[in-house]
């Protein structure tokens, strides 16, 4: 796949040295971060819905059961903007104005489409769970056909996307480096905690090893 060509919609307006339009960076950040928000418009009003996002091949997917307002519109093929971002640190400078944040962010544009059909839907649900908790799907009781109606998955060809990354320390005014003021970066991380057993877990069922491989943040 060729890289994304920025148009006025996706070209970054400020600090373009932080911009990336290559597919590899866009896909890597989406795969790493896993949480996003979906923006859409109904009758001129903007809506933003948080969700989990993942890739299947070059298509972006999200789980829709918590946003039925969006899903009713999606059936008609609405334009959406998906942002996937993670705050990585507070960059504290010697002055307020040079303070900043480190982050990874992708903004992707396209037209949302419902995943229809029990087979396609089950494949997406499996891809979803396998992305976040690799190895987990095959340990579950199989999905029943009628259950598939209760879940909604939305897919989108990424028409355009841009990634933006900031790392490292501040850039203070040269004369400020001599001041007796602390400056540095305070890292912010997503941490996966120790799994907590369901209170009704059947006695003797162990925590599966693959819970160590959760992919988020």
**Contact partners, residue 89, CB within 8 Å, separation at least 6:** 101, 102, 185, 186, 187, 188
Contact range with its own copies by CB under 8 A, out of 20-28, 53-61, 143-151: 143-151
**Interactions with its own copies, residue window 83-122 (CB under 8 A):** 83, 85, 87, 89-90, 92-97, 99, 101, 103, 105, 107, 109
Closest CB to its own copies among 1 and 40?
A: 40
| Kind plus residue range of the DSSP H or E element containing 54 | strand 45-56
28 contacts its own copies (rule: CB under 8 A): no
CB of 53 to its own copies, least distance (A): 12
- CA-CA distance, 1 to 14, in Å (whole number)? 27
By rule CB under 8 A, what count of residues binds its own copies? 99
**Interactions with its own copies, residue window 155-214 (CB under 8 A):** 164, 169-170, 172, 176-202, 204-208, 211, 214
Q: Is 18 exposed, middle or buried (CB count within 10 Å of its CB: 0-12, 13-18, 19+)?
A: middle
Return the residue of 2, 45, 57, 76 that touches its own copies, per CB under 8 A. 45
**Interactions with its own copies, residue window 47-76 (CB under 8 A):** 47-50, 52, 65-69
- CA-CA distance, 82 to 36, in Å (whole number)? 7
- CA-CA distance, 88 to 166, in Å (whole number)? 9
């Amino acid at each position: 796949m060729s890289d994304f060509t920025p148009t006025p919609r996706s070209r970054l307006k400020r600090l373009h040295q932080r911009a990336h339009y290559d597919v590899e960076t866009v896909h890597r950040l989406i795969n790493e971060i896993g949480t996003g928000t979906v923006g859409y418009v109904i009758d001129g009003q903007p809506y933003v819905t948080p969700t989990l996002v993942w890739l299947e091949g070059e298509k972006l997917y999200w789980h829709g059961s918590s946003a039925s307002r969006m899903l009713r519109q999606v059936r008609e093929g609405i334009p959406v903007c998906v942002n996937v971002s993670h705050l990585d640190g507070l960059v504290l400078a010697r002055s307020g104005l040079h303070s900043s944040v480190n982050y990874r962010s992708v903004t992707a544009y396209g037209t949302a489409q419902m995943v229809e059909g029990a087979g396609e839907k089950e494949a997406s649900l499996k891809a979803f769970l396998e992305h976040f908790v690799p190895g987990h799907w095959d340990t579950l009781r199989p999905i029943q056909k009628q259950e598939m109606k209760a879940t909604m998955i939305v897919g989108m060809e990424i028409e355009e996307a841009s990634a933006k990354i900031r790392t490292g320390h501040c850039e203070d005014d040269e004369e400020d480096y001599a001041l007796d003021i602390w400056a540095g970066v305070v890292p912010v991380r997503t941490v996966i905690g120790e799994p907590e057993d369901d209170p009704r877990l059947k006695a003797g069922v162990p925590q599966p090893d693959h819970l160590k491989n959760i992919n988020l943040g």
